């Protein structure tokens, strides 16, 4: 299943989920209506006995069908559930970080001296680079000694990965990698947003019970004064009790739905983890330790109750066994990966030895070989003709299908890329104080004269601290391989997102000055700015990820411009025509509507607002556009590093994660 299929499936699951919860709410409405009928009937009978109500006959009792009462119950129920669900959804509007912090998790500092925390950061970095998503922020539940983890967020840009202290202490690197691979599957498959919707809807139903409980609590110790006060208090008590019963019944069935949906996704995430790591023993080892550990995956913090279905393993014990279980039984999950499993779990050590583990011993770091079809990087920041063709690049359909994919090959390539980044640069990119200097350093021109002007701009625009950090990092940054530049930007995103608004605005302004210091914008410079701006925007406003354009015709002009810009990268008019034709051949729905744009119009400046509109397109449109773009770029049989970076920037601008193309090839 590719990224677009996974997103479409997540959307279908969301619609099914809404339908199931609508049934639960309807059941709540009907139960509430019956309770309201009973209460009004009792009230009228009480009033008749007291002389408050004058019935005309003995048969003049409240009817079973009362449209006004039913409308009031429906309106009240939907208002309470809807407003409460919106309130909870708004709580999570800050994305994954809001979820992690709501349960007391601590964000890991990038410079942590704890070897287990550093190992976790390294594993998450490898997964992020391999899958092409921004580096998720990493959190730890320090007080939880059970073995568990979860991923949360609204988009891949605001995702976070959270693990318990027990996971850090008791799992080997391979096992930790298996668990993190499982969580990355949830990130890439769109499960995180679905999980948050489930949480908000269940909370909406629960609020009815909480209102009833609050009403009963408010009546404790109340004194009855007056002739009719006793009847009023009794009526309020009965109302509170009815609300509690109705709300908890609705909540119970809502949790059943929640658990059933959660169980369905766990087998896929386990299988994906094996695919990512090429190491079945990693995730099965973690599951066996959970089964043999006295606490298992237990999570005791009361604030984690609403998000139990987020976790890697069952985080609570239930009297309803399979009905309320959010995860399949451990032995079934293990046998799905290891059919010969004998049913034996084992007790994990109190503390694993991480002093001698590394990505190399984990078995994922084969040497990186030259990639067929990838040319050496251009040495100038302007548009340059590609070198002579070599072998064909990936077929267009294959290139687009790589979106959201993470394989053992991608992971091995990511580990080698990270190993080749100088240690001082890797440390700096994690530090909010020095990460801006790293990003600025990626834009330094190879021409010494232009580079000196850029350094002066950094001192003036970004401040002396950033300028000093850049001066110290200039030499190691020069050693960063061209194919590692965008991955390095991915690693910088959490640190940059931690900057205050003023510092971030100054950095973006400085980057714009650096880009234009030589009077032109290269594909890499455009890619860096676009990726950075898009992901920082989604981190700040996760709900901005929308897709409301469903028609290819509605974005035909925008698609034509994107393909034209890509086709004209070489500057050869004949080659541009052939490349553009190769791209339009992938868009049969727009036959006759796409034309190669004049060279004067094919600037990166014009591409910027076009991508801002295309990000609102539906998944099928984005997929065909990326397929067509791959056909354009690969039409001459070779892809330069800058062309590959621009393609990845196009995907990132469309909110589509794409692994490094060299690994994909």
pLDDT tens, position by position, 313-369: 887 766 555 667 778 889 989 998 888 998 889 888 888 877 655 443 343 333 333
The answer to the question of residue 48 being in a domain is yes
Q: Is residue 102 assigned to a domain?
A: yes
Same domain, 558 and 655: yes
Looking at the chain, the whole-number percentage of residues with pLDDT higher than 70 is: 82
Of the three residues 350, 385, 420, the one that is the final residue of a domain is 350
Are 514 and 560 part of one and the same domain?
no
The residue-averaged pLDDT of 596-614 equals 87
Predicted pLDDT of residue 61: 58
Asked if pLDDT for residue 51 goes beyond 80, the answer is no
Question: Would residue 544 count as lying in a domain?
Answer: no
Residue 76 belongs to a domain: yes
Among 428, 350, 357, smallest CA distance to 177 is for 357
Residue 82 has pLDDT above 90, yes or no: no
500 — pLDDT class (breaks 50, 70, 90): confident
**Partners of 164 in beta bridges:** 141
- Do 514 and 577 sit in the same domain of this protein? no
Q: If DSSP codes are grouped into helix, strand and coil, which group holds residue 545?
A: coil
| 517 and 597 belong to one structural domain | no
Q: Is residue 428 located within the same domain as residue 304?
A: no
* Active-site annotation, residues: 183
pLDDT exceeds 70 at position 604: yes
Most confident of 34-43, 266-275, 473-482, 652-661: 473-482
Average pLDDT value for residue range 470-493: 88
391 in any annotated domain: no
- Top mean-pLDDT range of 60-64, 374-378, 394-398, 515-519: 515-519
Q: Are 5 and 404 in contact (CB under 8 A)?
A: no
Shared-domain flag, residues 273 and 212:
yes
Confidence of residue 100 (pLDDT cuts 50, 70, 90): very high
Which tens digits make up the pLDDT trace of 552-561? Answer: 999 999 999 9
Please report the DSSP string for 600-651 in residue order.
Answer: GG--HHHHHHHHHHHTTB-HHHHHHHHHHHHHHHGGGS-B-HHHHHHHHHHH
Residue 549 pLDDT more than 80? yes
- Proportion of the chain above pLDDT 90, given as a percent: 18
Higher pLDDT, 257 or 196: 196
147 occurs within a structural domain: yes
pLDDT one-digit tens code per residue, 359-408 = 433 433 333 333 333 343 333 333 333 333 333 456 666 666 777 677 77
Residue 362 lies in a domain: no
Q: pLDDT band for position 198 (50/70/90)? A: confident
335 and 282 in a single domain? The answer is yes
How many C-beta atoms lie closer than 10 Å to residue 112's C-beta?
Answer: 15
Q: What is the pTM of this model?
A: 0.77
Asked if 345 and 412 sit in the same domain, the reply is: no
9-23, 201-215, 344-358, 551-565, range with greatest mean pLDDT: 551-565
Ranking 240-244, 291-295, 509-513 by mean pLDDT, the lowest is 240-244
> What's the structural domain count of the chain?
3
Q: Is 348 left (phi over 0), alpha (psi -120 to 50) or beta?
A: beta
In this structure, the answer to whether residues 21 and 73 fall within a common structural domain is yes
Whether 536 maps to a domain, the answer reads no
Give yes or no: residues 185 and 253 share one domain. yes
- What 3-state DSSP class applies to 556? helix
562, 519: one domain: no
Domain boundary residue among 525, 543, 573?
525
Same domain assignment for residues 521 and 571: no
Range of the domain at 411: 400-525
Strands 137-141 and 160-164: parallel
Q: How many CA atoms lie within 13 A of 229 on its CB side?
A: 7
What confidence score (pLDDT) does residue 121 get? 92
Q: What is the mean pLDDT of residues 3-21?
A: 64
Average of pLDDT values for 446-475? Answer: 90
What is the model's pLDDT at position 49? 53
What band does 227 get if pLDDT is binned at 50, 70 and 90?
Answer: low
């Amino acid at each position: 299943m590719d990224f677009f299929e996974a997103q479409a499936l997540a959307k279908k699951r969301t619609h099914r989920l809404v339908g199931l919860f609508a049934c639960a709410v309807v059941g709540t409405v009907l139960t509430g209506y019956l309770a309201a009928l009973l209460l009004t009937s009792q009230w009228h009978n009480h009033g008749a006995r007291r002389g408050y109500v004058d019935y005309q006959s003995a048969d003049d009792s409240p009817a079973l069908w009362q449209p006004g009462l039913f409308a009031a119950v429906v309106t009240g129920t939907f208002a309470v559930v809807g407003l409460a669900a919106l309130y909870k959804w708004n709580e999570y509007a800050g994305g994954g970080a809001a979820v992690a912090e709501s349960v007391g998790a601590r964000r890991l500092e990038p410079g942590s001296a704890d070897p287990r925390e550093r190992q976790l950061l390294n594993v998450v970095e490898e997964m992020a680079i391999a899958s092409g998503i921004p580096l998720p922020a990493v959190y730890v539940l320090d007080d939880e000694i059970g073995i568990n983890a979860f991923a949360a967020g609204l988009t891949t840009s605001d995702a976070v990965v959270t693990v318990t202290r027990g996971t850090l202490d008791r799992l080997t690197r391979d096992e930790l990698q298996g668990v993190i691979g499982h969580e990355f599957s949830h990130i890439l498959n769109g499960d995180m947003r679905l999980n948050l919707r489930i949480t908000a809807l269940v909370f909406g139903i629960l609020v009815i019970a909480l209102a009833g409980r609050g009403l009963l609590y408010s009546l404790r110790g109340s004194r009855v004064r007056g002739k009719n006060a006793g009847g009023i208090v009794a009526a309020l008590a009965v109302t509170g009790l009815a609300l509690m019963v109705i709300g908890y019944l609705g909540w119970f069935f809502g949790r059943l739905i929640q658990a059933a949906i959660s169980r369905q996704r766990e087998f896929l995430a386990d299988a994906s983890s094996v695919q990512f790591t090429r190491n079945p023993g990693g995730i099965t080892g973690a599951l066996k330790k959970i089964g043999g550990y006295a606490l298992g995956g237990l999570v005791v913090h009361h604030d984690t109750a609403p998000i139990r279905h987020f976790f890697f393993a069952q985080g609570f014990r239930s009297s309803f066994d399979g009905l309320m279980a959010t995860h399949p039984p451990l032995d079934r999950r293990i046998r799905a990966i290891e059919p010969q499993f004998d049913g034996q779990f084992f007790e994990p050590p109190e503390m694993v030895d991480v002093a001698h583990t590394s990505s190399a011993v984990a078995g994922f770091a084969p040497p990186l070989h030259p990639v067929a079809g990838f040319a050496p990087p251009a040495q100038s920041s302007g548009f340059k003709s590609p070198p002579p063709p070599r072998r064909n690049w990936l077929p267009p359909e294959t290139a687009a299908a790589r979106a959201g994919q993470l394989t053992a090959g991608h992971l091995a390539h990511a580990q080698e890329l990270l190993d080749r980044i100088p240690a001082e640069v890797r440390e700096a990119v994690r530090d909010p104080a020095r990460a801006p200097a790293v990003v600025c350093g990626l834009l330094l021109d190879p021409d010494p004269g232009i580079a000196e002007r850029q350094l002066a701009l950094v001192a003036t625009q970004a401040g002396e601290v950033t300028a000093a950090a850049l001066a110290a990092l200039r030499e190691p940054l020069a050693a960063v391989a061209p194919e590692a530049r965008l991955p390095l930007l991915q690693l910088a995103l959490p640190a940059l997102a931690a900057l205050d608004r003023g510092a971030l605005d100054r950095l973006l302004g400085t980057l714009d000055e650096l880009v234009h210091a030589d009077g032109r914008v290269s594909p890499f410079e455009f890619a860096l700015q676009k990726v950075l701006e898009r992901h920082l925007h989604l981190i700040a406003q996760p709900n901005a990820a929308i897709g409301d354009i469903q028609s290819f015709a509605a974005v035909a002009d925008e698609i034509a411009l994107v393909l034209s810009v890509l086709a004209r990268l070489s500057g050869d008019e004949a080659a541009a025509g052939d490349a553009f034709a190769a791209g339009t051949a992938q868009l049969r729905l727009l036959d006759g509507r796409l034309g190669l744009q004049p060279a004067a119009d094919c600037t990166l400046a014009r591409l910027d607002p076009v991508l801002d509109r295309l990000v609102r397109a539906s998944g099928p449109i984005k997929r065909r556009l990326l397929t067509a773009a791959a056909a354009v770029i690969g039409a001459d049989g070779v892809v330069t590093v800058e062309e590959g970076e621009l393609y990845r920037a196009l995907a990132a601008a469309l909110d589509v994660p794409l692994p490094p193309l060299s690994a994909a090839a």
